[in-house]
């Protein structure tokens, strides 16, 4: 296995449980990939993926399977969207009452919004993690095109754009409307879930079951016809042979280390684009009184900030009692134009953004912080991408000795990558089962 993110750790765990001796290579000194939890002083900071959602059925089932259920916590979700300097709160535990009562949207926009609700309801059976053919069928226009044709400009600015930017770091001008429909169906949920040890608790637990090799950067993978040769660097170059392999990395390193990749996979991976994301965690000596779990910030309100998460409201233990922990998520566009800035300058800007939405000078309360600028946070799902994914999934070579896993061939994110890892493991198991059946008894 190559890559100890959630896809790689899940694939390795599943194969280990099925009787394989599994080795997991990771170039970093930690597991998790884009799931990254660190402790800074008294604060437990999720620097990448922030939560588990109730629709993450596969992730929740695996959490229970590996014995992490005592760490599993549920919190009600309260969203907020600022408009013209006023914060509008959205209680997802009472969605109908909230939708009718909010002043975020005008009465006319609310009536138009029923069209979105009707479209999501009509396509609900295809808005999951398993089937992409139905998503491909509605992958015909961008979020911007759909909102202007089917809804109106107000709903575009204060609903469509913040939904895809705040949850996917995405641009409404090229993002598929299928992703917006999927997001409404799966992410506007009444509860958020987490682990007391942080989001990384699950991949860290899975890695305990396998031969984990941190700091081992894989340089080349070769299918020699009878085995898979993996060449890696760990203070010196070495090559080992394995019966099979699963590559669970982002697109560019996967293509670089495996020149023999089939054309179907090469087409999907080489066409992948990513969006940048700034994740700045702020440990505060005083807890902000605001009840929101997170602010989704519309680009019309602030093009540099996509969300502000109150981590102390999402799970216990993220901050000591009475203290606060915020995560400010800065946009792709902001990172594109500020590559020259130091981390301290980015921190100062994040403090200013947090103060804007929480209404007071949070910088005076700063105790700890972490600044991460992800160069590849989320794969883009622009118009036509779901059709490409559906085609890839139909044509994937299930018998290949080297399989691929990650969040490129499905809805991206934690649960999608986890399911991809499980499916890659299943393909490996099917391959060896077929070989055993074909062998004489």
Looking up residue 365, the CATH number of its domain turns out to be 3.90.660.20
CA distance 139 to 259: 31
Average confidence score pLDDT of the chain: 93
Point out the domain boundary residue: 138, 156, 188. Answer: 188
Q: What dihedral do alpha carbons 231, 234, 238, 242 form, nearest 10°?
A: -50
Separation of first and last alpha carbons in the chain: 30
Whether 184 and 216 share a structural domain: no
Does 194 share its domain with 302?
A: yes
Q: Is residue 43 part of a domain?
A: no
Q: How does pLDDT run across 61-102, given as a tens digit for each residue? A: 999 999 999 999 998 888 899 999 899 999 888 878 888 889
Q: Which of the listed residues 188, 212, 239 is the one where a domain comes to its end?
A: 188
Nearest to 176 by CA among 217, 153, 146, 201: 146
Cα–Cα distance, 54 to 76 (Å, whole number) = 11
Rounded to whole angstroms, the Cα distance separating 330 from 303 reads: 9
In a domain, 347, yes or no: yes
Q: Is residue 42 part of a domain?
A: no
SS3 of 307, please?
strand
| Residue 405 φ then ψ, to 5° | -145, 155
Residue 13: give the domain boundaries.
6-35+199-272+381-438
188, with CB counted inside 10 A (0-12, 13-18, 19+), is middle
Helix locations, 321-377, DSSP H:
332-337, 343-358
Q: Are residues 255 and 393 both part of a single domain? A: yes
- CB neighbours of residue 283 within 10 Å: 25
Q: Round to whole Å and give the CA distance between 410 and 396.
A: 13
State the DSSP code for 439.
S
Task: Name the 3-class secondary structure at 271.
Answer: coil
Rounded to an integer, the average pLDDT of 262-270 is 96
How many distinct structural domains can be found in the chain? 3
Which of 262-266, 275-279, 286-290, 436-440 is least confident? 436-440
Q: What integer pLDDT is reported at residue 235 of this predicted model?
A: 87
Query: Please, which pLDDT band fits residue 435 given cuts at 50, 70 and 90?
Result: low
Domain co-membership, 280 together with 363? yes
Interval 217-239: pLDDT, tens = 999 999 999 999 999 998 899 99
Structure tokens at 57: 């059925």
**339 in the same domain as 296:** yes
Per residue in 348-396, pLDDT (tens digit) is: 999 999 999 999 999 999 999 999 999 999 999 999 999 999 999 999 9
Give domain status of residue 118, yes or no. yes
């Amino acid at each position: 296995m190559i890559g100890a993110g959630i896809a790689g750790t899940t694939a390795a765990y599943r194969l280990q449980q099925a009787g394989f001796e599994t080795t997991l290579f990771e170039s970093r000194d930690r597991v998790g990939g884009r799931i990254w939890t660190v402790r800074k002083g008294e604060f437990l900071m999720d620097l990448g993926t922030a939560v588990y959602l109730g629709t993450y059925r596969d992730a929740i089932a695996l959490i229970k399977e590996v014995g992490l259920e005592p760490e599993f916590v549920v919190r009600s979700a309260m969203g907020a969207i600022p408009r013209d300097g006023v914060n509008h709160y959205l209680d997802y535990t009472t969605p109908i009452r909230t939708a009718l009562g909010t002043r975020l949207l005008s009465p006319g926009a609310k009536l138009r919004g029923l069209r979105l609700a009707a479209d999501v309801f009509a396509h609900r059976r295809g808005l999951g993690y398993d089937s992409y053919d139905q998503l491909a069928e509605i992958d015909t226009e961008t979020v911007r095109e759909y909102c202007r044709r089917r809804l109106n400009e107000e709903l575009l600015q204060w609903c469509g754009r913040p939904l895809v930017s705040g949850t996917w770091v995405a641009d409404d001008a090229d993002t598929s409307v299928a992703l917006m429909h999927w997001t409404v169906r799966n992410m506007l949920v009444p509860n958020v879930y987490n682990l007391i040890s942080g989001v990384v608790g699950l991949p860290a637990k899975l890695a305990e079951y396998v031969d984990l090799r941190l700091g081992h950067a894989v340089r080349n993978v070769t299918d020699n016809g009878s085995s898979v040769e993996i060449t890696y660097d760990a203070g010196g170059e070495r090559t080992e042979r394995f019966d099979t392999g699963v590559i669970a990395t982002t697109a560019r390193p996967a293509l670089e280390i495996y020149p023999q990749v089939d054309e179907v996979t090469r087409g999907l991976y080489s066409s992948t684009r990513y969006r940048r994301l700034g994740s700045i965690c702020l440990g505060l000596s005083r807890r902000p009184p605001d009840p929101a779990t997170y602010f989704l910030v519309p680009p019309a309100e602030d093009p540099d900030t996509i969300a502000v998460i109150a981590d102390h409201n999402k799970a216990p233990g993220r901050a000591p009692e009475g203290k606060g922990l915020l995560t400010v998520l800065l946009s792709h566009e902001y990172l594109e134009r500020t590559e020259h800035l130091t981390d301290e300058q980015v921190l100062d800007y994040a403090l200013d953004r947090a103060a804007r939405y929480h209404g007071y000078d949070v910088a005076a309360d700063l105790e700890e912080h972490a600044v991460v600028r992800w160069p590849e946070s989320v794969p883009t799902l622009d118009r036509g991408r779901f059709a490409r994914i559906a085609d890839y999934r139909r044509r994937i070579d299930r018998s290949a000795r080297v399989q691929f896993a990650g969040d490129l061939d499905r809805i991206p994110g934690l649960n999608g990558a986890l399911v991809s890892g499980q499916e890659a493991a299943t393909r490996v198991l099917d391959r060896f089962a077929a070989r055993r059946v074909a062998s004489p008894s």
